[in-house]
Amino acid sequence: MLVLPDRDAAEEAAEEVVSRFGPPEEPQLVRDALAGEDDAEDAQWLVVVEDPADTMDTAALDELASEYEGWLERP
C-alpha cells in the first residue's frame, strides 16, 4: 500500500504502478482521513496494490511513493 498526501498524487502513482509493475489487478484508491479530522484537505490517500504472489520489488514501490512525497506501508 502506498500512502500519499493527496488524491492527485495517488491517481498518478496508481497509473505508474500499472505502467511499471503490471499488477494482476488495478490498484484501488482509498481516502484515509486522519483521526479526528473532518476536512478533506487533511486526508491521506492510499493506493492499495494487490500482490498475492509477492513478486513486486518493494524497494522500487517505496521509491515510486517517494517520488510523490509518500511512502510504502506493508500490511
Q: What is the pLDDT of residue 67?
A: 97
* Mean predicted lDDT score pLDDT of the chain: 89
Q: What is the pLDDT of residue 15?
A: 97
Q: What is the pLDDT of residue 74?
A: 85
Give the pLDDT confidence of 37-52 residue by residue, as tens digits: 555 556 899 999 999 8
Q: How confident is the model at residue 54 (pLDDT cuts 50, 70, 90)?
A: confident
- State the Cα angle at 44 between 38 and 54, rounded to 5°: 140
Domain boundaries, the chain: 2-34+43-72
75, three cell numbers: 500490511
